A and B are shown apart, each in its own frame.
Chain A
Amino acid sequence: MRTSASERTVHPVLVFWILAGWIGFCLLPWYGVEDGFFRFAWLIDGYPFDEDYAPAAFLVAQGEKVWLAPLLLPLIAPLLVLRRRKTDRTHAMVLILSGAVGFSYLVAQGFGIGIRGFTFDWLTWLFGELDDRQFGMGVGAMVLATSFLFLFTQGIAARGAINGDVFVVSAIGGVIVVVAIFVFFPIARMLISAFITEDGGYSVNVFASKFFDDRLWGLGCLRGARCGVAWNSLFLAIVVGFITTALGLVFALVLTRSGFRFKRGLRALTVLPIITPPFVIGLALILLFGLSGSVTVAFADIFGVQPTRWLYGLPGIVIAQTLAFTPIAFLVLIGVVEGVSPSMEEAAQTLRADKWQTFRTVSLPLMRPGLANAFLLGFIESMADFGNPLVLGGNYDVLSTEIFFAIVGAQYDQGRAAVLAMVLLFFTLSAFYLQRAWLGRKSYTTVTGKGDAGVHPLMPRRLSVPVFTIAAIWGAFTVIVYGMIVYGSFVELWGVRDALTFKHYITAFSIGFTEHGLHWSGAAWDSFFTTIEVAAIAAPLTAAVGLITAYLLTRQNFAGKNSFEFGTMLSFAIPGTVIGVSYILAFNVPPIEITGTGIILVVSFIFRNMPVGVRAGIASMSQIDKSLDESSLTLGANSWHTFRRVILPLLRPAILAALVFSFVRAMTAISAVIFLVSAEYDMATSYIIGRVENNDYGLAIAYSTTLIFVMLAAVGLLQLLVGRTQIGRRTHFAPGG
């Protein structure tokens, strides 16, 4: 009954992509439409002859943009082999050739011809002056490029790569291309721009002068002056890494090895950093310890001293980042601390070790990889953090803020921003590399499939006393800080007029009624809706890209899989600031011209948060036995059907988690966003930062509080949904047979 696909001569997928290519070339607007991706005004506005909206076919027919004409060739070629069998060698060759030629020509013309005609001098030299020009590519070009890509992958598949599996080959090709375009290309663009001189040439001297700048590497602080920003960032990151790891371990020990009764409350701590925009902690600290902060004022009153600005600088950043990132270290360490098999500890005790010796000689060494992991996460997060140094930094400059001021400040020096970003990237990549090199070879995971009956021993006394003291102090501090955030949003003007008021909420979120109906008159609505919209578009795409990548990594074997994995995980180690800088450098000129649109925000979120989707997907996919896929294949389903009907339904919890996580991250992110927002597309976080810079703390805090509650609702909804997703248990059926 089964008809083999290799004997059929009409392949619906192939027909679909050939058709898509023709539509992209003949029907869709070739260049980017100015008024936005989802606005369709172009349909009635001069289409299809107006140069701005015309499809490529019409442009060529009118004798414009003639360099697009050769694209017809690879479009026609696949039509000739439509009726051939899949196993036919010419079939595969024609598809590979037309796909590869079409795609590379498309890319080449995009880079070769820009706003000022030919981009490269040697092209002018070769073909003479070109008095035409082109802008960023649009829907038509995108669809055609996609079509070429998938023709190519189908050709590869027809030649027998990966068992001739079209879906898998296409997925690999697709992921590689998008990662190349949106991760590697911008980074490369950024690296190049570090070498560009003021008049547009290239020079190593430019790079060297910026790189060896004293403001970057100066060691003045050893002599009482100021140090370079690179050292500042490094020192800060190491300090924060150590403190967060230590505190994370303290909380993890309290949770797993003590009779502590409020463990659920402690668990809730882990949710906080996910739903809190990072700089909000900085704001709360200002309310407490700033020049007119409650604690500072009370302290000054009691001891009769002048309030100081001690918070602004290294101490403030360290406190804020520690508050913000300790839960992340905790999250890493709780898994590791629980993962130490109780039977190891029990074995040590039966071998005459007392509790303290057991902890020191067995438990702690087994936690070592987790400690390293937590430290490096704290390190990377601190390096990448932008909001807290901006709010609390004072004179303590760090790389991320310095990059920001190099781009948006009066100096406007893209080259300097690029050099700084490279240094930052170098630090985080080194950390990422060290982590992989060190942890890659060591696995101390001692939890096995076998039932482990033991329980973790309680902490020894000499450990539990300091641990509890620290945990209690820090826990109370966290509660106070979050309390301040909520309370602060109701105070009229902190430190000056302490009356409670709804004023800030009304300014931000008032709704008026006019004759046209509802009027969103609050100042924050615009950015709020943009944020929700961008986050809502980005979340499903992030989850999709992440899960497909995870599927390829766990389920398929192909050449170059390791570099594929490294490439997809790389954006995890790229700080948001670097993404932001590289995106504006790469995407404000053709061929991909999306700066200032909502698309660039969506894209930056997808690739910022993709590694999380990948990790979540890998974690849950490795729980699904591979024989499920295989049995589906032997039952005649192809791998697309298998993915859709077997893997996806079983991944529902992971999908939901990835969705909500990327939604929430998109709402709280600031470091990349601050570079990419525009007047039309302002995001909540950058709006809040703007308010802070204008010293409008009330509104900023009220808005932040609102965001926290919105995201709390999102996370709550997730838990509700995931809690219900369970696959049948043996409950009301007696086991038969």
Chain B
Amino acid sequence: MAQMQISSKAAPVSFRSVSKVFGKDVVAVDNIDLDVESGKLVTLLGPSGCGKTTTLRMIAGLEMATTGQILIGDKDVTILPATDRDVSMVFQSYALFPHLSVLENVSYGLGFSGFPKAEARDRARAGLDLVGLQGYDDRLPSELSGGQQQRVAVARALVLEPQVLLFDEPLSNLDAKLRRQVREDIRAIQQDLGLTVVYVTHDQEEALAVSDEIVVMRNAAVAQTGSPRELYDAPVDRFVADFIGEANIVPCDIVSVDGDLAEIVIDSYRYRLPSRGLTVGPASLAVRPSRLIIGVEDGFAATIAKATYVGIHMEYTLETAFGSIFAVQEDVDNPLQIGQSVAVGLASTGPVLIPGG
């Protein structure tokens, strides 16, 4: 058997003012622009109903854009149906053909791409090798475990050497332990072969773990695009701050702006941080629970409302003048008592200003 290598023909994807309207007035995707660089793994992240799956299906050609233009490589594919696009997709349900064996499933697409039988078989075997499923050729999908089925689905998409590989929530049918394993495998294969991958998930942890770039979507539009670090550390608004990780949104007043630095007041607590283009007036502060420091000299007043011991840290719910906030403290040996009055300060890095009072 000739040694087959699965290689990559990765190409960039771009959306130019693409909208998708179902029926008369159900807008699933509203005028989005998107650029996926060749060889990168980009995640579409958002709550259910935000249009991320529709966006993915428009790349695949399973839905047609109502307006706008979609390019893969340098070719306009806007009106091409799925059959004619060089894109493969791994489905949430895997969608393995139950009447075909593993090998037949993997070589299914190769037959339509004009490969002779023998070569198609060799390629399919190489694909199965790549996902670590040697020797399962003649099994039926129903005779495999969930994780194995998933890998067959990946192999089936990989062997076509698509310009773009799409994943629609590929881990949602796996149990928690397997998820970490599979997502690492997917990432490894993507990086080894240099594939362009677009990946849909609603799990922010999964998105942070695998992505080169994350596109956060909300209400059919893009809320923010950036690397995992950028999104976590510098969310543009309340929605992104809350969706990526957990964040307390604290109302504050910007009292002065000096160059890039702003000075804010919460209650009577003063704090300096990057202004991010905001001007004097009411604003909001996004603070991760771990960036709150309880029991400092200088801070805003709060009362402990709840204290929960979760093993590796303590979780507190605090009542303040502007509502309740949530904090995590490393110190598990000296827990604070419910009802205790404390002063709460902010860590020197971490909190970011976002617009809106």
Contacts and interface: CB of A to CB of B under 8 A. Distances in A.
Interface stretch (A20-28, A612-620, A722-730): A722-730
Q: Determine which residue in A627, A637, A638, A646 has the highest number of CB atoms from chain B within 10 A of its CB, and name it.
A: A627
B91 interface: yes
B79 A160 contact: yes
A4 B84 contact: yes
A630 to B, nearest CB: 5
Contact of B97 (A164, A632, A729): A632
B83 A638 contact: yes
A635 interface: yes
Given A163-B64, A634-B88, A728 B95 contact: no
Contacts of A631: 89, 91, 95, 153, 156
Contacts of B97: 628, 632, 646, 650
A630 B62 contact: yes
Interface in B54-84: 60-62, 64, 79-84
Name the prevailing secondary structure of the A interface residues: loop
A5 interface: yes
B113 A2 contact: yes
A111 to B, nearest CB: 38
Contacts of B139: 733
B148 interface: yes
B81 A165 contact: yes
B109 A635 contact: yes
B143 interface: yes
Interface in A158-197: 160, 163-165
B95 A636 contact: no
A728 B86 CA distance: 31
Contacts of A639: 83
A593 B102 CA distance: 53
Nearest to B9: A1
B144 interface: yes
B81 A727 contact: no
A736 interface: yes
Contacts of A637: 83, 108-109, 112
A633 interface: yes
Contacts of B323: none
A634 B89 contact: yes
Contacts of B161: 1
Interface string A424-445: 0000000000000000000000
A737 B145 contact: yes
A641 interface: yes
Interface string A256-296: 00000000000000000000000000000000000000000
B295 interface: no
Contacts of A164: 79, 81
B115 interface: yes
Give the contact-size bracket for chain A: 35 or more
Contacts of A649: 99
B87 interface: yes
A198 interface: no
Q: Indicate the member of A4, A87, A649, A729 with the most B CB atoms within 10 Å.
A: A4
B114 A633 contact: no
A82 B28 CA distance: 39
B83 A633 contact: yes
Nearest to A628: B95
B279 interface: no
Interface in A691-737: 727-730, 733, 735-737
Interface in B143-169: 143-145, 147-148, 153, 156-157, 160-161, 166
Q: Which of B108, B145, B157, B161 has the most CB of A within 10 A?
A: B108
A640 B144 CA distance: 29
A727 B98 contact: yes
Contacts of A160: 79
Interface string A597-630: 0000000000000000000000000000101101
Nearest to B109: A635
A3 interface: yes
B145 to A, nearest CB: 4
15 contacts: A1-B115, A627-B95, A630-B60, A630-B62, A633-B81, A633-B82, A634-B60, A634-B61, A634-B88, A635-B156, A646-B97, A727-B99, A728-B143, A736-B145, A737-B148
